[in-house]
Amino acid sequence: MPVATVGETADATIEVTTEAIDTYASVTGDTNPIHLDDEYAAETMFGGRIAHGMLGAGVISAALASLPGDVIYLSQDCSFEAPVRPGDTLNASVEVLEELGGDRLRVETVARVDGELVIDGEAVVLSVPHDDE
């Protein structure tokens, strides 16, 4: 399989469920009640439970993994623009913007819910052929 090149894109989508949020909290140890406690979260500025920002960033990682070759994260810059809630469908998309030299690429990374930008950012990744190629 070839490596990713400038202009290449990939996408990933998940349905955000309360179970996914609970599992993420269990795996990471992030038990902030805004993610886990309906009553507590209802009293916050968000008016209800929201997903962990990094759960959304994980979907961006899944989109990166869909690019050709083996893609390895080196860095990620992201801003969380809007909350993601249980019941939302989160769509992440990535586009290779620039070759940085060697196997390094600069990639635009975004995630949207119903067309609304919820995560905006850029990543630097390595893109190398699979070992068996």
Domains and CATH numbers, the chain: 9-16+52-128 (3.10.129.10)
Report the sign of the C-alpha dihedral through residues 81, 86, 88, 94, in that order: positive
Starting from the edge strand earliest in sequence, which strands make up the sheet with 89-101, in order? 9-15, 89-101, 104-113, 116-128, 70-80
| pLDDT band for position 2 (cuts 50, 70, 90) | confident
Instruction: Look at residue 132 in the predicted model and tell me its pLDDT.
Output: 61
Instruction: Look at residue 102 in the predicted model and tell me its pLDDT.
Output: 86
